[in-house]
Amino acid sequence: MRMYLISDNVDTYTGMRLAGVNGVVIHSRNELKEQLDKAFTDKTIGIVLITEKLSREFPEIIDDVKLNRKLPLIVEIPDRHGTGRKPDFITSYVNEAIGLRL
């Protein structure tokens, strides 16, 4: 199985290409749907890397894939500007999940 990148910027795309990961740069909802459909039909793709910005812009598409498909696995990655999450993201996530303050 291989990885495939769907990015919203050329810098992330270039960095992943240097690491040997193929992908595309997109900017619209239709392009995202088209590229995800392409990944679904290609049985050699096991992981789709998607930038956090795209994931935040089109959450309904990404959530639908995560909930209704086993493969490919969708992994959100930060871009060169870093993550859009708060510094205590993991602690907050655990607090919400188990209901305890850490």
Domain boundaries, the chain: 2-98
**pTM of the shown model:** 0.77
Torsion angle defined by CA atoms of residues 78, 80, 86 and 91, in that order, rounded to the nearest 10 degrees: 50
pLDDT at residue 85 in the model? 65
pLDDT of 8 > 60? The answer is yes
pLDDT at residue 81 in the model? 64
Tens digits of residue pLDDT in 37-91: 999 999 999 999 999 888 888 989 888 888 888 889 999 988 766 666 666 656 6
Kindly report the CATH class assigned to 2-98. Answer: alpha beta
Residue 31's alpha-carbon distances to 38, 75, 91, 96, in angstroms, are: 10, 18, 34, 34
